[in-house]
C-alpha cells in the first residue's frame, strides 16, 4: 500500500517519534509512505514530502514535527473537501495516517465517512482525547511547566512573594493538575472547578505564613468571571486562543490587591510545547504509530490507535472521540488532599 501521513493541530513532543514509527513499521511490512506538509493543508493544497526510512533517522528525540502542522479545517468549505479528495486520487493513496488531537481526528473521521481508508493516532499536550488513557506530548509539556514552577519557587522564596504560573491546556486542566501536584503548589486552578477567590486567598495567606512564599498554578482555561483584556482570537476550528486572556496576570493582580502579598506571574505559553520528548512520550508515540500501521495492514480502517489500561489497541473513531476528556473527580480529590 501507499500510505499518506500528516500531523495536524498544535505541535507537541512525540510527533516526530510517531512519524518515525509509522514510517519504519509501514516499510517493515512492505508498504510505502508519503508525507503531507502542514496538516490538512498539505492534503488540500497537494504539499508533499518524501517519507522513507532514511528521512526519519534521528527523529526519536526531536521536538516538533518534520511534516509541519496547521489548524486547517479541510471540510469547512465544500471546495476544500473536493481538493482533498483530488489530491488523494492524484497520489493514488491506499490509506492515510492522521496524527492529531480532537480536531484533526474529527476531520479524519469525516474523511473516513466519505469512504476513504483512514486511521488515526491521538496526540496533544492537553491530554484531552477521550478514548486514550494518555496522549503523548502531555508528560513532556508538563515536565517543562514543572521545571518553570521550581524556578519560580526559588525566586518566590527569596522575595517572600506569591508566584502565579499560567500553563496551557485549553479546557482541560491536566497540565495544571500535573504541574501543581508534581510541584506541590499551594493552589492549583483548573477549568473543571469553579473559581473560588476567598479559598485562593486563604491558601496563599497560609502558605506565606507557614513557609514564606506561595506557588499558584492556573490553567489558561479558567473562568475568572469578569474578564480582563480582550478575548483571544479564534482558530479555524472555532477555538479561542486562551493565552491571550492572560488569566495568570489577572490572578496576580487580584491576589496582591486582596491579600496585600506581593505577587508576580509568568505565562509559560508555547515554551512548554517545544523540546525533546520525555521517555514516556517517546515510547507511547512509538507504540501508537506502529499500531496505527498494524491497523491499516489488517484492513481495520476507520480506527484510532489508543492506550487503554496499559495496552495499545484500536478504537473506532466514534468511540475514541467523545467529549474532550477533563480531569475527573478522583484526581481533583487527590489534588486537594495536598493543597487544602
Ligand atoms: O491544543 C494544544 C494547545 O497548546 C492548547 O493548550 C493551547 O490553548 C493551544 O494549543 C494554543 O494554540 P496555538 O498554538 O494555535 O496558539
CATH at 110: 3.40.50.450
Domain of 108, in residue numbers: 2-137+277-320
Please check whether residues 6 and 132 belong to one and the same domain: yes
Residue 43 is placed in which grid cell?
Answer: 492534503
Phi, psi of 26 (to 5 degrees): -60, -50
In a domain, 93, yes or no: yes
Predicted local confidence at residue 126, as pLDDT: 98
How close is the Cα of 92 to the center of ligand 1, in Å?
A: 33
Mean pLDDT by 10-residue block, N- to C-terminus, for the chain (340 residues)?
A: 98 98 98 98 98 97 98 95 98 98 97 97 98 98 98 98 97 97 98 97 98 98 76 83 93 98 98 98 98 98 97 97 96 93
Predicted local confidence at residue 291, as pLDDT: 98
In a domain, 87, yes or no: yes
How close is the Cα of 70 to the center of ligand 1, in Å?
A: 11
In a domain, 83, yes or no: yes
In a domain, 14, yes or no: yes
Predicted local confidence at residue 233, as pLDDT: 81
In Å, how far are 17, 79, 201 from 229, measured between CA atoms?
39, 37, 22
Please check whether residues 157 and 110 belong to one and the same domain: no
Looking at the structure of the chain, the number of domains it has is 2
Q: Whose alpha carbon is nearest atom 16 of ligand 1? A: 241
In a domain, 80, yes or no: yes
CB atoms within 10 A of CB 2: 13
CATH number, domain of 254, equals 3.40.50.460
241, 247, 275: residue to mutate for ligand 1 pocket, most atoms within 8 A of CB: 241
Q: For cell 519560580, what's the residue?
A: 152
How close is the Cα of 258 to the center of ligand 1, in Å?
A: 31
Q: Whose alpha carbon is nearest atom 2 of ligand 1? A: 10
**Counting atoms of ligand 1 from 1, which one is nearest the CA of 168?**
6
In a domain, 23, yes or no: yes
**Buried b / exposed e along 179-214 (16+ C-beta atoms within 10 A):** bbbebebbbbbbbbbebeeeebbebbbebbeeeebb
Given 217, 238, 273, which residue is the final one in a domain?
Answer: 273
Please check whether residues 48 and 122 belong to one and the same domain: yes
Please check whether residues 173 and 266 belong to one and the same domain: yes
**Residues with active-site annotation:** 126
Phi, psi of 240 (to 5 degrees): -70, 140
Phi, psi of 168 (to 5 degrees): -75, 180
- Cβ 203 vs Cβ 339: under 8 Å: yes
Please check whether residues 20 and 98 belong to one and the same domain: yes
- Cβ 277 vs Cβ 285: under 8 Å: yes
Please check whether residues 100 and 167 belong to one and the same domain: no
Which of 207, 215, 213 has its CA nearest to residue 188?
215
Predicted local confidence at residue 340, as pLDDT: 67
- Cβ 213 vs Cβ 161: under 8 Å: yes
Please check whether residues 260 and 187 belong to one and the same domain: yes
Pocket of ligand 1 (CB under 6 A): 10, 71, 101, 124-126, 168-170, 220, 235, 241-242, 273
Please check whether residues 77 and 183 belong to one and the same domain: no
Please check whether residues 162 and 251 belong to one and the same domain: yes
Which of 134, 140, 118, 148 has its CA nearest to residue 273?
140
DSSP letter string, 247-292: HHHHHHHHHHHHH---EEEEE-GGGGG-SPPPHHHHHHHHHHHHHH
Q: Whose alpha carbon is nearest atom 1 of ligand 1? A: 10
Please check whether residues 133 and 281 belong to one and the same domain: yes
How close is the Cα of 269 to the center of ligand 1, in Å?
A: 8
12, 105, 122, 126: residue to mutate for ligand 1 pocket, most atoms within 8 A of CB: 126
- Cβ 247 vs Cβ 268: under 8 Å: no
Given 251, 273, 295, which residue is the final one in a domain?
Answer: 273
In a domain, 67, yes or no: yes
Q: What predicted TM-score, i.e. pTM, was given to this entire model?
A: 0.96
- Cβ 33 vs Cβ 93: under 8 Å: no
Q: Cβ contacts of residue 144 below 8 Å, gap of 6+?
A: 268, 271, 272, 275
Please check whether residues 253 and 201 belong to one and the same domain: yes
Please check whether residues 165 and 289 belong to one and the same domain: no
Q: Whose alpha carbon is nearest atom 13 of ligand 1? A: 10
**Counting atoms of ligand 1 from 1, which one is nearest the CA of 243?**
8
How close is the Cα of 335 to the center of ligand 1, in Å?
A: 24
> Residue 278 has what DSSP assignment?
P
In a domain, 95, yes or no: yes
> Residue 132 has what DSSP assignment?
S
Q: Whose alpha carbon is nearest atom 6 of ligand 1? A: 169
Amino acid at each position: 500500500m501507499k500510505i499518506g501521513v500528516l500531523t495536524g493541530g498544535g505541535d507537541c513532543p512525540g510527533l516526530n517519534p510517531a512519524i518515525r514509527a509509522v514510517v519504519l513499521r509501514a516499510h517493515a511490512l512492505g508498504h510505502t509512505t508519503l508525507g503531507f506538509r502542514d496538516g490538512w493543508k498539505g492534503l488540500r493544497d497537494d504539499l508533499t514530502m518524501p517519507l522513507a526510512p532514511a528521512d526519519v533517522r534521528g527523529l526519536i528525540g526531536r521536538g516538533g514535527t518534520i511534516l509541519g502542522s496547521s489548524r486547517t479545517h479541510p471540510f469547512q468549505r465544500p471546495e476544500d473537501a473536493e481538493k482533498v479528495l483530488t489530491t488523494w486520487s492524484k497520489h493514488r493513496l491506499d490509506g492515510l495516517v492522521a496524527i492529531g488531537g480532537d480536531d484533526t481526528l474529527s476531520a479524519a473521521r469525516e474523511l473516513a465517512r466519505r469512504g476513504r481508508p483512514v486511521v488515526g493516532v491521538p496526540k496533544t499536550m492537553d491530554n484531552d482525547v477521550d478514548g486514550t488513557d494518555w496522549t503523548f506530548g502531555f508528560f513532556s509539556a508538563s515536565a517543562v511547566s514543572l521545571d518553570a514552577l521550581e524556578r519560580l519557587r526559588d525566586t518566590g522564596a527569596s522575595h517572600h512573594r506569591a508566584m502565579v504560573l499560567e500553563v496551557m491546556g485549553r479546557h482541560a486542566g491536566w497540565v495544571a493538575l500535573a504541574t501543581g501536584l508534581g510541584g506541590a503548589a499551594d493552589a492549583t486552578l483548573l477549568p473543571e472547578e469553579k473559581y473560588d477567590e476567598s479559598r485562593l486567598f486563604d491558601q496563599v495567606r497560609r502558605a506565606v505564613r507557614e513557609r514564606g512564599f506561595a506557588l499558584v498554578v492556573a490553567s489558561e482555561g479558567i473562568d475568572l468571571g469578569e474578564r480582563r483584556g480582550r478575548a483571544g482570537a479564534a482558530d479555524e476550528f472555532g477555538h479561542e486562543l486562551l493565552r491571550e486572556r492572560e488569566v495568570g496576570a489577572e490572578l496576580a493582580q487580584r491576589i496582591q490587591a486582596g491579600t496585600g502579598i506581593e505577587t508576580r506571574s509568568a505565562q509559560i505559553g508555547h515554551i512548554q510545547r517545544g523540546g525533546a520528548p520525555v521517555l514516556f512520550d517517546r515510547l507511547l508515540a512509538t507504540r501508537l504509530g506502529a499500531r496505527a500501521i498494524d491497523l491499516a495492514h489488517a484492513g481495520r480502517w476507520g480506527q484510532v490507535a489508543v492506550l487503554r489500561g496499559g495496552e495499545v489497541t484500536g478504537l473506532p473513531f466514534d468511540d475514541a472521540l467523545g467529549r474532550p476528556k477533563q480531569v475527573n473527580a478522583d484526581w481533583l480529590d487527590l489534588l486537594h488532599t495536598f493543597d487544602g
